Structure 1
Amino acid sequence: MSILSFLFKEQSLPDTIKILDREDYKKAISNGKVQLVDVRTRAEFSSGHIKGASNIDFFQGLAFESAFSKLKKEKPVYLYCQSGNRSQKAARRLVEMGFVEVYDLRGGYRTWSY
């Protein structure tokens, strides 16, 4: 294993978290009846986001947890951020909060071109 692949590989994730490429992610959210959440800041969200997404800023601590406590834990949640880093951290927090199925957009919003 090269040093680069070691440094940049995805960390092992719980089975409840799946990372989807943009095509699979687009198909999964296409019916519009999903819990789709952008975990970027309000400013990032305002500069562009996936249609139908709610904005719950990962950096807002208690407000983040409070907002997610209003979502259905047994229903899949689709997350994204700018690059995929924050949303993976958010996904881990959601699993800790009891969410059973969490999906993350590989590469984040920067890869979204729809």
Structure 2
Amino acid sequence: MSIFSFLFKEQNLPDAIAILDRKDYKSAISKGKVQLVDVRTKREFMSGHIKGAKNIDFFQGSSFESNFSELKKDQPVYLYCQSGNRSQKAARKLVKMGFDKVYDLRGGYRTWTY
């Protein structure tokens, strides 16, 4: 594994996962009702989040999975965390749970300036 692929883990993502830059992400979530999920902790979420996002903490184990089981697996899910690391891990989990398409915000909430 090269240092580049190690640093940019998105190289090895399943086809069901796409990483979007903030402009494309904003455009996608602005097109109507979407499944928008912030996988940060409740404290992080309360300090600021994208309007319309549901908070499902990645670190909550079985609660994480049960909360996602309430979402529609055949519709896209838009994820983000603080930097993009947790949301990529969450995206991989969702694909294993049977979600068809998962979009992740490149760089996470820290890049969100809207």
Report the counterpart of residue 10 of structure 1 in structure 2: 9
Distance 1:112 1:84 in 2: 12
The one-letter code sitting in structure 2 at the alignment partner of 1:79 is L
Distance 1:51 1:32 in 2: 12
Distance 1:80 1:47 in 2: 15
TM-superposed deviation, 1:8: 1.3
Distance 2:79 2:40 in 1: 10
Report the counterpart of residue 23 of structure 1 in structure 2: 23
CA RMSD of the aligned region, Å?
1.4
Deviation larger for 60-69 or 24-33: 24-33
TM-superposed deviation, 1:6: 4.3
Report the counterpart of residue 64 of structure 1 in structure 2: 64
Distance 1:19 1:53 in 2: 18
Percent identity reads 75
Structure 2: gaps of 5 or more residues: none
Post-superposition, which runs of at least 4 consecutive aligned residues in structure 1 deviate over 6 A?
Answer: none
SS at match of 1:36: strand
- 2:112 matches 1:112: yes
Distance 1:13 1:46, change over 3 A: same
Count of residues in Structure 1 that have an aligned counterpart in Structure 2: 113
TM-superposed deviation, 1:32: 3.8
